[in-house]
Amino acid sequence: MAVKTGRGFAAIEYPTGMNQNGDPSQAWIKVKPDGRIDVFAGTSDIGNGSKTIQSQIVAETIGVPYEWITYDNSNTDSSPVCTGTFASRATFVAGKAVEKAAENVRQKILEIAGKELEIDPSDLEIIDGEVIAKGAPQKKISVPDVAAAATWGYGELITGTGAQLKPYATIVEPETGKVDLPPHSAISYASCAAEVEVDDETGTVTVTRLWQCYDVGKAINPTLVEGQIEGGAVQGLGLGILENCYPYYPSVEHRGGQFGAYLVPGMVDLPQIDTLIIENPSSDGPYGAKGIGEMANNAQPPAIATAVFDAVGVWVTELPITPERVLRALQEKAAGGGAPKRDGKTVIFDSNLSVNTVGTGIAFGAAA
């Protein structure tokens, strides 16, 4: 009886945004007389950071400082339509709507600046809140001055709208209803390596390290992306070894009756987390961004399961990997069984290709 260490990894791919038709997001932006910018969009920031990220996109696209942007609190009264904050779409889909709206605002600012400077708008650019003639930087006018001119001189409101909508699919075979639906949603890729300790007497699994590697297309705000990945890591740890509404489903008899019966990871469960962000740009997200929201907790459970196999040689094929399941799997193995099974089917497992076999040669990076 001993505590055994194991390592395993898993890789996933994840589509960003809804993979069917439609899924609209709209945005409206207006420039106040002092050049400060109001953004109205329907994406609620539920902690995913979308207000920050979409404000950054607006600042970058127009060419003004981030501090000039006010992102209105999304609501069902004054905000344009957005399908919502789900499907990892707040940056990828709604961020694109905001980018398009901001581009229209930029054009309008250039147009009015062109009149003021008597220069063709195509020869102007906006850098850090100033409209500057390309190649003649002494000829310039600030965005606040342009906004004031629009308001008091030209009687105009500088404004722009933008929307993002996946095209509807074309039915190519009316008899069968088969559609031609190219995958519009950017595919993100991620992998996770887990290190665990398994006590083969008690069956307890402790996750000691998680290495996380995520392709997010473009990390518009790397710290927020890192926060999503770290949060996802601990959620994935919970799904892997702790969280369960109905421990003996379909029996509901052992359903937890109160808060504490549902085991969410706490601070004491926190493993060392190492995060690597990869930028492999998408063609249709804002600045090449993809989504990070939901995929962040997908790779840990299978990585933990392979690490448990690496540690004690049993496959636990149901989540979460509770002490009871580990002990039952160890018992079954001791009795001569223990091949991986799921719903009565044997899982094909080629030990020559397994993580266990090749894993020992992999350098997992320097110890912290």
Partner 1 sequence: MNLTVNGVDTTIESGPLTSLLDVLREELGITSAKAGCEQGGCGACTVLVNGASRRSCLTPVASIDGAAVTTVEGLGSPEHMSPVQQAFTHHYAAQCGFCTSGMMMAAQAYIEGGGSDDHEAIQEALGGHVCRCTGYVKIIDAVAAVARGESFDLSVTAAGTAMTNIGGMA
Residues that bind partner 1 in the complex, under the rule CB under 8 A: 46-49, 55-60, 65-67, 127-128, 218-224, 227, 230-235, 258-260, 264, 266-268, 270, 273, 287
Nearer to partner 1, 152 or 259 (CB): 259
The tokens for 141 are 């006018």
Least distance in angstroms from the C-beta of 235 to partner 1: 7
In angstroms, the CA 29 to CA 143 distance is: 15
Do β-strands 22-31 and 37-41 pair in parallel, antiparallel, or remain unpaired?
Answer: antiparallel
| DSSP codes, 167-230 | PPPEEEETTTTEEE----SPEEEEEEEEEEEEETTT--EEEEEEEEEEE-S--SSHHHHHHHHH
Q: Are 55 and 14 in contact (CB under 8 A)?
A: no
Q: CB 53 → partner 1: shortest distance, Å?
A: 9
Contact assessment for residue 112 and residue 150, using Cβ atoms and an 8 Å cutoff = yes
CB of 221 vs partner 1, minimal distance in Å = 5
Of 60 and 200, CB closest to partner 1: 60
Taking the least distance from each CB to partner 1, the nearer of 46 and 252 is 46
Residue 42 CB, shortest distance to partner 1, in Å, is 18
Cα separation, 331 vs 316, whole angstroms: 12
Tokens at 181, concatenated: 């639906």
> Cβ closer to partner 1: 195 or 310?
195
* 165's tokens: 């909508």
Q: Which is nearer to partner 1, 196 or 220 (CB)?
A: 220
CB of residue 127 vs partner 1: minimum separation in angstroms? Answer: 8
Closest approach, Cβ 190 to partner 1, in A, equals: 15
Which CB, 221 or 317, lies closer to partner 1?
221
If the CB atoms of residues 6 and 49 are measured against partner 1, the closer one turns out to be: 49
* Separation between Cα atoms, residue 267 and residue 257, nearest integer Å: 23
Q: Beta 345-346 vs 341-342: how paired, if at all?
A: antiparallel
C-alpha Rg value of the chain to the nearest Å: 26
Work out whether the CA dihedral 312, 316, 322, 327 comes out positive or negative.
negative
Q: Closest distance between partner 1 and the C-beta of residue 283, in Å?
A: 17
Decide whether 203 or 265 has the Cβ nearer to partner 1.
265
Shortest reach from residue 297's CB to partner 1, in Å: 10
Start-to-end C-alpha separation, the chain: 29
CB of 168 or CB of 262, closer to partner 1:
262
Cβ–Cβ < 8 Å for 310, 356:
yes
Minimal distance in Å, beta carbon 46 to partner 1?
A: 6
Helices (H), the chain: 50-62, 95-117, 143-148, 222-241, 300-312, 323-334, 355-359
**Which neighbouring-strand residues pair with 159?**
30
Q: What angle do CA 224, 225, 227 make, to 5 degrees?
A: 60
